[in-house]
Structures are given as structure tokens and as C-alpha cells.
Amino acid sequence: MRVAYWPGCVSRGFTPELHGSMELVAPLLDIELIELDRANCCGAGVIAEHNQELVDTLNARTFAMAQRVAGSAGMMNICSTCQGAQSECQQRLDADDDYRRLINQHLRPEGLEYKRGDDWTNKNLLWLLVEEIGLEKLRERVVRPLEGLRVAPFYGCYIVRPTGRLGYGEFPDRDRYLEWVIDAVGATPVEYAGSHKCCGFPVITMNKATSLRQAGRHLADAIDADADCLVTPCPLCHLNLDLQQPDAAKFVERPLDIPVLHFPQMIGLALGLEPKELGMGKHVVRTRDVERKVAALAAV
Amino acid sequence: MPDYTLKIRRYDPESGDAAYWQDFTVDLAPERSVLDGILRARDQEDGSLSIRCSCQAAICGSCGVRINGKSALACNTKLSDAAERAQRGGINNEATSNGAIVVEPMGNMPVLKDLIVDMDAVHWKKIQRVVPWLLPEGEPPEREYIVDAEAMIDVTQSMACIQCGACVSACLSMEVDPEFIGPAALAKAYRFVGDPRDAHHEDRLRDLAEDPHGIYDCTHCFACIEVCPKDVAPMSQIMRLRRRATGDYAIKDSNNGYGHEKAFVDIVERWGTLHEAQLLPRSFGDGSLVKGQTRPAAVKQLIDSAPAALRGLARGKVSPRKVLIHPKLPDQKEVRRIYEEIEGRDERIELNLYIVGEEGEGGADDKEPVQGESGAES
Ligand code: SF4
Ligand code: SF4
Ligand code: FES
């Protein structure tokens, strides 16, 4: 399956291991990535806060580029925040012809146009995997079932709320997919309070206490539920849960030491890729224990 | 008629006992509400079961509870829908429900008894905090204030609030920071900041921007938008408050709200994608890189945040080169042109989905979807 691929800024910036592991995992799932390397930042909610017309135009530009990728099944992203920010713009662009025309005027000098199409979609890898590729196929491809690994899902707000805008009408189980995929790769999904809550990242520069108390609390809850690691489809959540974890520990006044995997990394492990090639050495919280468990699992 | 099992959180402070769960089975038609179920349980099984309610029609806002973990009005939730959700399993129910509909008091507020929470102690106190009345300038006119109907469209969404507290119950910032002014009160604040008759827009905004628990303490989690029974979209109102504070009044607050927005927007204008290494110093310096590295308060914040950056460097996440040099997009001039076209205009254009409707086919001649400045997002 060919997709117009939007990796997002953070996966090529502060979490390069995410983009890297996606590129390794894609061929193993028969996904052909056509990277949108001329597209711009989604705005991550901040440009939306600043000027709606601007953010809608910037994302319409990305959509228009994606729609030009010949033979693609749609656009794919690997960031919950990109998903949410872009879905918000797409909802407005699709809702009103006049408004869409107005936005498209800004794209005309570049020869671009966003066309509303009922079957054109922008899906996070998580959605694409479950809805288009299918968990059956994923199961067939697993060469190293992650048996015994207890994984706590962490979705990221932007991919679970608001349900009205994020396609939950058609796909009501989108808030379950991480658990399903964890199960499909042979690991055990861990239930804990924080899975659908906020990592706190959006206010890290504005209110560090609010931000890191959220991250710290969810990490602590996952530890108390006996998780070996967390997994997240959002690199911004990863920044607060992993990069900031040592600071988060101070805000919740307890030691935290739990690795956080990017979603494609977890799939990569099950598909036989090695932790090192998946960039797990780049995490701030050491992934040793997860690696040891995985190494003990014989590849089938 | 089908049987529904309600698993209700009980608590009576006078008994001295801890809170506990109790199951009630009621025999009611599927389209009846969870509130009907609770009242039936009270009438038939236990007269001491307590809940606040009045209109039973989603108007008075008194019956807020959490149903299967989600904040909602009990009178506005059908038994059949709640049961279906319960069968599927709520997300993070504290109780293992075995298919029963789980009903708890709202969150973020102290419980007085069973399903009744102390709205005065939290919700109403926060509403008062934002001065929820009009502050016009000078003597009132002899007759009524005359306002252009257009000018009021912008605040209709925030006026739809029925003060039920569901958003307060669901707010994820308030969960870790009880002092956060919160979604309902901030939506109410916008109701006056967006009202042309009010003469204190800037004072109100400055107050809410400078308060460390004000508009910049919202973590953008969408929980309030998700649960509000009246589509008030409190988070969107908070974003409007921020937009006015930064865009219209350039209020440079000590929480870095102004700096963060300006830094982010400017970085994308310059490079097209996010240059993370510059985001922090610029945020701490009201958007300016130089200020962010020289002004004492900014430097202190930068040093406080340095450990995280150093950890990133140490793990090879970011190379020193990447910190210094960020590539521009190949067609960056196009992004700049878009910025100039839109930011060069005086008015801000917004599409108000609350008013035009989300299912809009668009193009109808009789409607005016695009508004200058005063539009609203859903
Ligand atoms: S979006 Fe902001 S106000 Fe709304 S629930 Fe989340 S933190 Fe609270
Ligand atoms: S904003 Fe919505 S959820 Fe919050 S109090 Fe008002 S009506 Fe209730
Ligand atoms: S009883 Fe009035 S809103 Fe539910």
C-alpha cells in the first residue's frame, strides 16, 4: 500500500528514532512511504490558537501535496498531535465550500488545491494498521511474539478527543486500538488510569508543575500496574514521558524508571527488528529490561 | 421492559464509613434516562440514595455525574446507550462493572453525599473568580444598550453554558492543579471578553494571562469539549482568550504564554517546520531569541530546563549541529507568502462551525459562514 507520508516535525527533530523506526517497519508491512518532504508543520494546536485561517491554509497545503501523490491510498501520519491538529482543519475545510475556496486561494500561486473527497483520508499509523492493513495480517507477520511483555498504552489527547471530529462515529473502537495491537504482537496490554489522559506537554513551558505532575502521575500508575513499558503513537507525549521523566519524578516525589516505546518501535520488535536499529538507545530512560525480555524470546 | 443494573458509588459522611459500591436493578424502557433509573432505584429500594436534579430535560444543569467514567448529565443519557457503553467496558472504570452501568459523582469536586458534589466549593467559586458580570464604561444608557446582532454571534456559544460542571469534572489540568480556573469559568470569561458592551477586555485578559492558573494552565486535552452537553467547547473559548491576549493586546505575561505562541508561529514562518532547539529560549524571551538568552528571568528558566536538553544531547537524540542549524523547507518562500497574505490583513477570518453547523454542505447563498475576527471554531 502506498501512502503519502507525513512524519511531522518532532519525529525528525527531537525523536529521530521514531521516523527511523517507521522507515524500517514500513516495508515489513507492505507500506510504501512517499514522504511529503516539502510540507510544513501542522501547527500542533499553537498556530490554531494564533490564527485559524493560517493553520487551515498550512494544513490544506499539506493535504493538497498528499492528494497529488499518484496511486496513494491516502495520507499517513505517525503523530497523535498531527492527527488531531490536521483533523481539526480538515473538518472546517470540508464543512463549507466558501471557506474551502477562500483557503485554496492562498494555495493557488503554488499550483496547489485541497479537494474535498469523501474517501480521501489522513490516518495515523495506528488507525491505518487496524482499519486498512488489518490485525490478521499483522499477526501473520509477527516473527517474535512479545510474550510476557506488559505494555501500558498511552494514546495522546489529540487522537482520542473530541470523538465527533476524529471519526469515532464510523470507527467507535479507535480508543481501543492500542490495546488490540499490543495483544496482536503477543504482548499483554496493561490497564491503568492514565492511558487516555494528557501527558502535559502543551504547557511544559507555561506551567511546569501542571505539566510534569500529569506525566509523572501516569508513569507512576503504569508502574503500579506492573507495566514493563509504555507505548505511544505521539512523539510529543514521548518527550514529556521519556525526555522529561527524570524531572517528572521530582514533581511526583517518587522514583520513576519506566521506558516509553514509540508505536512503530513496538511493532518493529515483534517483526524481528533489533532494539538498536529501532533507535531505542536514543531514549533517555534506558530500555535495557525490555531489550532483555525481548532477547529471551526466540524468533519463531 | 428490560432490566438495567446500575452500579452506584455511595457515600454518607455522617455514617463515618468509607465510600462503597452498590448495585440496583431497575426495570425501565431503553429510551428512559439514567436519571430515571436512579430515581426509580431511590423510590423502590433505598430512599436515602441522593442525587440533585430538577428539570429532567438537560436545561437546569443540576444532574451532572460520571457514567461509565465519562462526565455527563444523567437526564440526558439514555439507559440503552449507557448499557451499551458499559458492555463494551468503559475506559478506566474504577469499578469492574460486569456490564453494569457505573454511576459516580463528578470528579475534581468534593463529594457531599452519594452523587452530590460540592459545586459551591469549586465550580461556583471559580465562576466568581472571573467577575461574571458586565463592566460597562460610564453611565448606563437611558434605555437599553444597543448592540449589533452580528457582534453577539461570537459569544453565543459561551452563553449556551448551563453551569452543570461536567467540564470541570473532566478537566485534566484541574486534576493535577486544583487551583486552575478551569473550563467553565474561562468560557464564562470569554462571554464578557467577547461582548462589545464590556469596557474591560484588556484588564480581564491581563488578569487571566498573568494568573499562573489562568488561560495558560490549560493543557489542551479536549476533555471539556468532549463532555459538554451544550457544545460550549470551553477549550476553544480559552484559545480565543489567548488569541485576543496575544494578538489584540500583545500581553507579555510572566507564564511565557505570549512568548511560546510567538516563538512557535515565528519559527514556522522562518523554517516551515519546528526548530525545537530555538523554541525554549524564544518562548522564555517573549518570542525573541536574544531576550531569551539575556534577560535574567528567561535565563533562569532556560537553565532550569537545560537538564532535559542535555539528556537529549547525551543520548544522541539531537546533535549539536541539529541544535544550531535547522534546514528550511525547499519552498519556504511559499509558506512565508501565506503568512504575509493572512497576517498582513487586519481582520482575522474564522469559520464558526457552532453557527454554520458541522454537516454544512456549504455554498448556500443565504448564509454568511466567514466572519471577520469574531468567528468561532467548534
Ligand atoms: S482542554 Fe483545558 S480546560 Fe478543557 S479539560 Fe483540558 S485542561 Fe481543562
Ligand atoms: S461549559 Fe458545558 S460542561 Fe461546562 S458547565 Fe457549561 S454546559 Fe456544563
Ligand atoms: S435534571 Fe436538569 S439538566 Fe438534568
> How many CB atoms lie under 10 A from the CB of residue A214?
29
Q: Which of A81, A88, A96, A154 is the best residue to mutate to test the B interface, defined by the most B CB atoms within 10 Å of its own CB?
A: A96
B263 in ligand 2 pocket by Cβ < 6 Å? no
Which tens digits make up the pLDDT trace of A157-182?
Answer: 999 999 999 999 999 999 999 999 99
Pairing outcome for strands B111-113 and B116-117: antiparallel
| Chain B neighbors of A191, CB-CB under 8 A | 92
B40 in ligand 2 pocket by Cβ < 6 Å? no
Using CA atoms, how far apart are residues A72 and A90, in angstroms rounded to an integer?
Answer: 18
Percent above pLDDT 90 for chain B? 65
Please list every protein residue whose CB sits less than 6 Å from any atom of ligand 1: B 170-173, 183, 218-224, 234-235, 238
Residue tagged 446507550 (cell numbers):
B81
- The atom of ligand 1 lying closest to the CA of B167 is 5
Q: Which range has the top average pLDDT, A91-105, B277-291, B316-330?
A: A91-105
Q: Which amino acid is at A210?
A: T
Residue B370: its H or E element: strand B370-372
Q: Mean pLDDT over residues B312-328, rounded? A: 76
All three cell numbers of A294, joined, read 525481548
Task: Say if residue B170 is exposed, middle or buried (CB neighbours under 10 Å; 0-12, 13-18, 19+).
Answer: buried
Weakest mean pLDDT among A238-242, B23-27, B155-159, B274-278? B274-278
Nearest CA-CA distance, residue B115 and chain A, Å: 21
* CB contact (8 A) between residue A210 and residue B316: no
B174 in ligand 2 pocket by Cβ < 6 Å? no
Domains along the sequence of chain A with CATH: 2-124 (1.20.1050.140), 142-299 (3.40.50.11810)
pLDDT exceeds cutoff 60 at B372: no
Residues 6+ apart with CB under 8 A from A278: A17, A20, A21, A24, A264, A265, A268, A269
Measure B106 CA to ligand 1 centroid, in angstroms. 15
Nearest CA-CA distance, residue B38 and chain A, Å: 26
Longest Cα–Cα distance of chain B, Å, equals: 72
CATH number for the domain whose boundaries are B120-248 = 1.10.1060.10
Using CA atoms, how far apart are residues B165 and B117, in angstroms rounded to an integer?
Answer: 10
| Chain A neighbors of B259, CB-CB under 8 A | 205
State the pLDDT confidence band at B358, using cuts at 50, 70 and 90.
low
Q: Mean pLDDT over residues B49-70, rounded? A: 97
What is the predicted pLDDT for the residue at B288?
82
Could you write out the DSSP letters of every residue in B112-138?
EETTEE-TIIIIIHHHHHT--S---SS
pLDDT exceeds cutoff 70 at B265: yes
Q: If DSSP codes are grouped into helix, strand and coil, which group holds residue B23?
A: strand
B165 in ligand 2 pocket by Cβ < 6 Å? yes
- Interfacial B residues in 12-51 facing A (CB < 8 Å): none
* CB contact (8 A) between residue A92 and residue B260: no
Using CA atoms, how far apart are residues A194 and A190, in angstroms rounded to an integer?
Answer: 11
CATH 1.10.10.350, applies to B3-117: no
> How many CB atoms lie under 10 A from the CB of residue B219?
30
* CB contact (8 A) between residue B255 and residue A210: no
CA distances from A268 to A148, A296, B204 (A): 17, 16, 51
What is the predicted pLDDT for the residue at A37?
93
CA distances from B174 to A124, A163, A300, B67, B107 (A): 29, 21, 48, 19, 10
Question: What is chain B's length?
Answer: 378
Instruction: Confirm or reject contact between B173 and chain A (CB < 8 A).
Output: yes
| In chain B, where the domains are located | 3-117, 120-248, 257-330
pLDDT exceeds cutoff 80 at B306: no
Using CA atoms, how far apart are residues A37 and B49, in angstroms rounded to an integer?
Answer: 61
Q: Mean pLDDT over residues A87-111, rounded? A: 97
A101: closest chain B residue by CA: B363
A172 preceded by a cis bond (ω within 30 of 0): no
Percent above pLDDT 70 for chain A? 99
Measure B233 CA to ligand 2 centroid, in angstroms. 8
Indicate the DSSP class of residue A261: E
pLDDT exceeds cutoff 90 at B140: no
Measure A157 CA to ligand 3 centroid, in angstroms. 28
Nearest CA-CA distance, residue A91 and chain B, Å: 8
B232 in ligand 2 pocket by Cβ < 6 Å? yes
What is the predicted pLDDT for the residue at A280?
96
Q: Which of B301, B328, B338, B358 is the best residue to mutate to test the A interface, defined by the most A CB atoms within 10 Å of its own CB?
A: B338
> How many CB atoms lie under 10 A from the CB of residue A104?
18
B279: closest chain A residue by CA: A205
B223 in ligand 2 pocket by Cβ < 6 Å? no
Q: Which residues of A263-295 are buried (b: 16+ CB within 10 A; e: fewer)?
A: bbbbbbbbbebebeebbbebbbbebeebbebbe
Q: Which of A10, A14, A236 is the best residue to mutate to test the B interface, defined by the most B CB atoms within 10 Å of its own CB?
A: A14
* CB contact (8 A) between residue B216 and residue A206: yes
What is the predicted pLDDT for the residue at B39?
98
Residue tagged 507520508 (cell numbers):
A5
A41: closest chain B residue by CA: B273
Which tens digits make up the pLDDT trace of A232-271?
Answer: 999 999 999 999 999 999 999 999 999 999 999 999 999 9
Residue tagged 495522546 (cell numbers):
A156
pTM: 0.93
Please list every protein residue whose CB sits less than 6 Å from any atom of ligand 3: B 53-56, 58-63, 73, 75
All three cell numbers of B263, joined, read 516563538
| Chain B neighbors of A88, CB-CB under 8 A | 377
- The atom of ligand 3 lying closest to the CA of B54 is 1
